[in-house]
Amino acid sequence: MSRRTLFSIRSLAAAVGVAILSACSAPAISRDVNALPDPKLDAVAPAGHTEQVAVLAGGCFWGVDAVFKHVKGVKQVWSGYSGGNADTATYDRVSDGNTGHAESVKIVYDPAQVSYGQLLKVFFTVATDPTQLNRQGPDTGTQYRSAIFYGNDEQQRIATAYVAQLTAAKAFDDPIVTQVVPLKAFYPAEAYHQNYFRLNPNNPYIVINDAPKVAHLKQLFPQLYRAGETVVSVQLH
C-alpha cells in the first residue's frame, strides 16, 4: 500500500482507530532491530567544530528525517529528493515513481560530535531496512529505495566499506540492496513535508511506521539520542 493510498483513507482511519489501519499496513522496518557493529573505517574527527553534509534515502522521508533530527551533533535535516532532475523534483511527480528521484534527507552535522560512519550505523540500524528493494514497509517504488548519496571520495570509501563489513558479518538475513551512488544534487521537498513528524504526531502513518524508528534510536543509541528535535525553517535554500 502506498502512502498516497494511506492519505485517501485517513478520514476512515481516524473514525475506526489506528489499530484497524495497522492490520493492513506493515511497519517500515519489520525485522528485529539490533544495534550493528561500529564501522571499521570511519572519518577522523576534526580538531574544531565544522559542518559537513550527508544525503541518505531510506523510504518515506518523514521517518528518516525524524530519526536524524534526534541525533546529537546533527544541526539541520531537510526532507527532499535526490537522483533525478530539478524539473521533476516535486512530490506529485516523484510519487509516480518515474523521475529517478528517491525521497531523501539532507543532514548537516558537526563531525566533531558525530562521525559519518556513526550516521550510517544509525541509518542501517533504525532508519531503513537495507534488504528491501525499491520499497520500505507499505511504500513501494523506486522513489522509496534505500540509498547513500556520497558527496566525496571519503564518504564513498566509508559507505562501501561499511556495506562490505555488514555483509561479511551477516548482519542481516537477506542481502543488503542499499545503493552507494554519487550525489548529483539534493532538492528540498515542499514546505508541508518539513518537520512532518513533529507537526503530525497522531497521523496513523507516523504512529505505525515512523514513531517506532525514533523509539529504537532512543533505546539502542542512548549516547547519541537527544530528546529535543532540531527544527528547520520552511524557508528552504
Residue 25 reports pLDDT greater than 60:
no
Phi then psi dihedrals of residue 74, to 5 deg: -85, 130
Angle at 215 (CA atoms; ends 209, 221), nearest 5 degrees: 130
pLDDT at 6 over 50: no
In the chain, the domains with their CATH numbers are 3-214 (3.30.1060.10)
- Record the pTM: 0.88
User: Could you confirm whether 24 is annotated as catalytic?
Assistant: no
* pLDDT, tens digit (0-9, with 9 covering 90-100), for 49-74: 899 999 999 999 999 999 999 999 99
Of 55, 57, 60, 158, catalytic: 60
Could you tell me which residues come within 8 angstroms of residue 131 by beta carbon, excluding any fewer than 6 positions away? 31, 172, 173, 174, 175, 176, 177
Q: Which secondary-structure segment (H or E) carries 148? A: strand 146-150
pLDDT single digits (tens) 110-167:
999 999 999 999 999 999 999 999 999 999 999 999 999 999 999 999 999 999 999 9
Q: What is the mean pLDDT of residues 71-81?
A: 98
